[in-house]
Amino acid sequence: MDNKAALRQLLRWKRQQLDPASQPGLLNWRPRSGRGRRAAGLSQAQVAQLLHVSERTYAQFERGEMAAPTAEFLDNVSRVLHLLEQERTALYVYSLGHEAPHPQDPLAGRTVHPAWHEAIRRVTGQPSYINDVAWNAVAYNDDFVRMFPRAPDAEPAVPERNLMRYMLLNEVAREHHLVNWESEWAVPLTAQLRNAVAQHPENADLQRLDQEVDADPVSGPIYRANHVAYVHPNGDTRRMRYPWYGPLGARDEPDRCCDRHAPSQEGDVTMCAAMPMGSPGARFFFLVFKPGPPGFTEPN
């Protein structure tokens, strides 16, 4: 099936699901008279009226013969036909050959299906978490909680729900946790933030982060001067300190970052990222930590 046929099938099927009597924009619509059985749902003429276009224009679109329909037109069709997020994505793909630049739901990317919370909690051995489109942690496992520096006698805790705020503005992250912070962390992170702020101007958390990072005396200059184009860290490897769980005083006990924090070890962390379906902009992360000098691989 080609894109034109798929588009026709999607739009006709959605029209059939809608009752003309339930559409506020059709209150003055008079049913057509004449012989013959009327098909269920909205007609092309009714959809055209709701879209404020001619019947010919909409019919041309439904046949896949409209050259490069605008995003505004596609979103109006999505609204009139009450398309779900995945149906709207299909509408864009069948019409333009690519997905929509923004999700339909303003809350998309801020929540994940409840099953993800249980799935994340069941991951053991490596830190795993999900952050929303503004880097708020929405689900994580115990290994993620234990990943952060803490006082020697303190219980593990996540110091900041917003991970971008922690990585760019928290002194402990910059001075103790994230090794080579300015070159390996701050540059790609500020590039990610700039991209997200531009892509989601309606997101209050991102706009607040933009202002806070811009005003920070350490991260602000990097943020303002950053010209790097960077979207996501999937597959990236960076230096980080990780809690030490071996016996204290052992020969191979690593150097701790300072006396304020429990023993930790320096190593490479590789970030494996994926997007939970149904939550555009949210990210699932699985962190693989390997202690040792940069690029070190343990012998078999």
pLDDT one-digit tens code per residue, 119-178: 899 999 899 999 998 999 999 999 999 999 999 889 999 999 999 999 999 999 999 999
Alpha carbon of 108 to those of 134, 193, 239: distances in Å? 11, 18, 32
Bigger pLDDT: 86 or 239? 239
Give the pLDDT band of residue 182 (cuts 50, 70, 90): very high
Domain 114-291: which topology? Beta-Lactamase (3.30.450)
Over range 22-40, report the average pLDDT. 61
Residue intervals of the chain classified under CATH 1.10.260.40 are 3-96
Asked if residue 210 has pLDDT above 90, the reply is yes
- Distance, in Å, from the CA atom of 148 to the CA atom of 9, rounded to the nearest integer, reads 52
User: In this predicted structure, what is the pLDDT of residue 252?
Assistant: 55
**Does 3-96 carry CATH code 3.40.190.10?**
no
Minimum mean pLDDT range among 29-33, 133-137, 255-259: 29-33
Strands 264-274 vs 283-291: parallel, antiparallel or unpaired = antiparallel
Bigger pLDDT: 85 or 148? 148
User: In this predicted structure, what is the pLDDT of residue 199?
Assistant: 79
Residue intervals of the chain classified under CATH 3.30.450.180 are 114-291
Q: Is the pTM of this model over 0.95?
A: no
- Distance, in Å, from the CA atom of 167 to the CA atom of 67, rounded to the nearest integer, reads 45
Alpha carbon of 189 to those of 165, 170, 171, 181, 228: distances in Å? 10, 14, 16, 10, 10
Minimum mean pLDDT range among 6-10, 36-40, 79-83, 112-116: 36-40
Residue 218 · residue 238 · CB < 8 Å: no
Structure tokens at 211: 């202002």
User: In this predicted structure, what is the pLDDT of residue 36?
Assistant: 46
Mean pLDDT of the chain: 85
DSSP conformational letter for 136:
B
